[in-house]
Structure 1
Amino acid sequence: MSILRTGINFSFSLFSGFLPMLVILNETKQKHKIHDYTQLIRGRDYIFETLQGGLRGYMTGTGKGIKPRDYIILQHGSQNYRYQVEEIDYYADPSDMWIALVKQVRFE
């Protein structure tokens, strides 16, 4: 029984040295949030004006906490697209309404 317990403790301590590194990597990846707008309807819940054939666009929508370099997931037809916010300006009233310049990026 003590051999099994030692083996478990050894395995835990062997991998525990990697845990801080994993936490740091996860924090780095989470700096830029992902905002899922796939359940919203274009033209009713948000406006998307395409530029460069849809590779870029101006999007007007609502939601708090969206910042430059965050990602927005949109659905066009049955296809999902990922856009990265390049610039964003919030309206004064209502305060959760914004307009953003976005560019299409690949899903990772």
Structure 2
Amino acid sequence: MSLIKTGINLSFSLVSGFLPMLFILNESKQKQKIHDYSQLISGRDYVFDTLHGGLGGYMTGTGKGIKPSDYILVQSGCKPYQYQVEEIDYYSNPSDMWIALVKQVKFD
């Protein structure tokens, strides 16, 4: 009886040990999302404070589901820009407002 009980615990232990690794692998395979803010107006719908001569910056806006490594599209005049989110923090109120550290990247 003791042997069977140990075997069950061992198999559960092995399975539960692999679950976090499977979650990490699955999460790393997920594609980055593209969030299009190019039709919105800077200064009204979002705020962008540039860093490093425009190669990066802090962007504050609204919208849910934006995560690190996602892309944000904005437009300045007629010129489009793409930024990748390096860090993002959501405000508590309103809950969909965020501030993100972004870096400029080339369009794919």
Q: Which residue of 2 aligns with 1:48?
A: 48
| 1:104 equivalenced with 2:107 (yes/no) | no
Which blocks of at least 5 consecutive residues in structure 1 are unaligned? 1-27
Q: What is the alpha-carbon distance in structure 2 between the residues aligned to residue 29 and residue 72 of structure 1?
A: 20
Which blocks of at least 5 consecutive residues in structure 2 are unaligned? 1-27
Q: Which residue of 1 aligns with 2:76?
A: 76
TM-score, normalized by length of structure 1? 0.72
Q: Give the partner amino acid of 1:41.
A: I
Q: Which residue of 1 aligns with 2:39?
A: 39
Q: Which residue of 1 aligns with 2:62?
A: 62
Q: What is the alpha-carbon distance in structure 1 between the residues aligned to residue 69 and residue 95 of structure 2?
A: 20
The alignment yields a C-alpha RMSD, in angstroms, of 1.4
Per the TM alignment, residue 65 of structure 1 is displaced from its structure 2 partner at its CA by: 0.1
Q: Give the partner amino acid of 1:60.
A: T
Q: What is the alpha-carbon distance in structure 2 between the residues aligned to residue 46 and residue 30 of structure 1?
A: 27
Q: What is the alpha-carbon distance in structure 2 between the residues aligned to residue 53 and residue 37 of structure 1?
A: 21
Per the TM alignment, residue 60 of structure 1 is displaced from its structure 2 partner at its CA by: 0.2
Percent of aligned positions that are identical: 75
TM-score, normalized by length of structure 2? 0.72
Q: What is the alpha-carbon distance in structure 2 between the residues aligned to residue 29 and residue 48 of structure 1?
A: 30
Runs of 4+ that moved beyond 6 A: none
Q: What is the alpha-carbon distance in structure 1 between the residues aligned to residue 72 and residue 51 of structure 2?
A: 16
The 3-state SS of whatever aligns with 1:53 is helix
